[in-house]
């Protein structure tokens, strides 16, 4: 049976691509995915698979109960887009100004919907229950995973698996870790309130731009000089807003950025050091400040046994696939919340387009669509492997 299902997935490649390209043309950013959610729900309606909509927001969850006893396993796909203007010159270019599927979530959704279309034809032979977990708002904290969990909609789930089409990983390669896989992702805002004035009279001002510039440099020294070198962390100042004219000294400056960590103690150290450095700089220049720190997604910590199932058995779905255990990524993912509550694992499916060197969240980002069946088959293999290992 499983071999027949894998063959059916391959035979559905064209439809999978069409679905992905349709979704790519009509992206909706986090928490605004009403039409996308309806498209997903309508698909399950047509398939006759029971589903619930508006889970934790715009989430959609469908369930296919197999004809044989087994565990209840969720397979997750996110479906929100990013506030980016697409720059690709392709027939399926985004038609929604200022929005783009620049991370592959259109592909994730196409994978899960196609998997559902295939599996419904084998329902009587499938063990357990497949939970098709379509999650909204992965890109922007507080995200969609947490409210879906809080809704109780997946309380009965025994395990959860998910994959991310990864545009920097070669096609045919599956990557994950048996432990920490992706970093916790936080956001910070520092506002400096100084005293503006004429560009020719700096001695009468408290130059917020200068203070902010020193902060940009000083904050980088937290990782290099305040943390154990064996601990991993990133502090990035990504936005610096200050000034209004060439001859006016700025009275305020705003620094916005992200912190990535795996260890809660490292996270707390960075928070304390950031505020200490900011406070010291402002005392030196007699300026005021506001320091706002927003704890985002926790780190993605795979369960070792479930990650091992992916690493050891993904090639069962397709012999040409290779797997490898990699160093953790500093990117963040709210799939972390599921793994705090349920056994499971998250992994990358290689989707690199050779010669198209644009990373995730870039206006020219794209994926190798040949990776779509790889993602579908490995998700199903994870489901199969878990059933065979843990079902009595």
Catalytic residues: 80, 138
Contact between 12 and 117 (Cβ < 8 Å): yes
Helical residues (DSSP H) of 330-390, grouped into ranges: 335-341, 371-390
CA distances from 145 to 150, 154, 338 (A): 9, 11, 7
Distance of CA 322 to the CA centre of its chain: 23
Cα–Cα distance for residue pair 199/205, rounded to 1 Å = 9
Contacts of 259 (CB under 8 A, 6+ apart): 185, 186, 187, 188, 233, 234, 235, 236, 267, 270, 271, 274
Contact between 177 and 346 (Cβ < 8 Å): no
* Residue environment code for 53-89, b if the CB has 16+ CB neighbours within 10 A, otherwise e: bebbbbbbbbbbebeeebbbbbbbbbbbbbebebebe
**β-pair type (344-350, 159-166):** parallel
**E strands, the chain, in order:** 51-55, 59-65, 68-78, 127-135, 159-166, 173-176, 180-182, 184-193, 197-198, 233-242, 248-249, 252-261, 288-297, 300-301, 322-325, 344-350
Cα–Cα distance for residue pair 251/287, rounded to 1 Å = 10
- Number of neighbouring beta carbons within 10 Å of residue 27: 27
Cα–Cα distance for residue pair 132/152, rounded to 1 Å = 15
CA distances from 251 to 38, 158, 197, 222 (A): 47, 55, 8, 26
Cα–Cα distance for residue pair 366/127, rounded to 1 Å = 35
Q: What length is written for the chain?
A: 392
């Amino acid at each position: 049976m499983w071999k027949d299902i894998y063959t059916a997935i391959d035979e559905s490649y064209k439809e999978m691509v069409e679905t992905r390209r349709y979704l790519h043309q009509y992206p909706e950013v986090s928490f605004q995915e009403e039409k996308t959610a309806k498209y997903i729900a309508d698909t399950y309606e047509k398939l006759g698979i029971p589903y619930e909509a508006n889970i934790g927001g715009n989430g959609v969850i469908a369930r296919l109960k197999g004809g044989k006893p087994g565990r209840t396993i969720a397979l997750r796909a996110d479906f929100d887009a990013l506030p980016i203007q697409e720059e690709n010159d392709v027939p399926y270019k985004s038609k929604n100004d200022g929005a783009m599927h620049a991370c592959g979530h259109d592909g994730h959704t196409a994978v899960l919907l196609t998997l559902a279309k295939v599996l419904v034809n084998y329902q009587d032979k499938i063990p357990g229950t497949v939970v098709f977990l379509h999650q909204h708002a992965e890109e922007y904290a507080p995200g969609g995973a947490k409210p879906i969990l809080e809704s109780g909609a997946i309380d009965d789930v025994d395990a959860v698996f998910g994959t991310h089409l990864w545009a920097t990983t070669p096609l045919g390669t599956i990557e994950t870790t048996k432990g920490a896989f992706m970093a916790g992702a936080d956001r910070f805002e520092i506002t400096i309130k100084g005293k503006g004035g004429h560009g020719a009279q700096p001695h009468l001002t408290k130059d917020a731009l200068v203070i902010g510039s020193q902060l940009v440099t000083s904050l980088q020294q937290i990782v290099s000089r305040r943390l154990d070198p064996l601990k991993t962390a990133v502090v990035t100042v990504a936005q610096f807003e200050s000034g209004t004219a060439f001859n006016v000294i700025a009275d305020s400056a705003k620094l916005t950025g992200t912190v990535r960590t795996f260890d809660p103690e490292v996270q707390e150290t960075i928070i304390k050091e950031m505020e200490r450095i900011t406070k010291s700089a402002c005392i030196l220049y007699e300026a005021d400040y506001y320091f706002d720190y927003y704890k985002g997604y926790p780190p993605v910590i795979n369960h070792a046994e479930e990650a091992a199932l992916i690493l050891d058995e993904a090639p069962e779905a397709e012999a040409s696939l290779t797997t490898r255990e990699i160093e953790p990524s500093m990117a963040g993912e709210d799939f972390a919340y599921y793994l705090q509550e349920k056994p499971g694992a998250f992994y990358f499916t290689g989707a690199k387009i050779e010669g198209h060197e644009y990373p995730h969240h870039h206006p020219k980002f794209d994926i190798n669509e040949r990776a779509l069946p790889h993602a579908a088959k490995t998700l199903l293999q994870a489901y199969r492997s878990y059933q065979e290992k843990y079902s009595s």
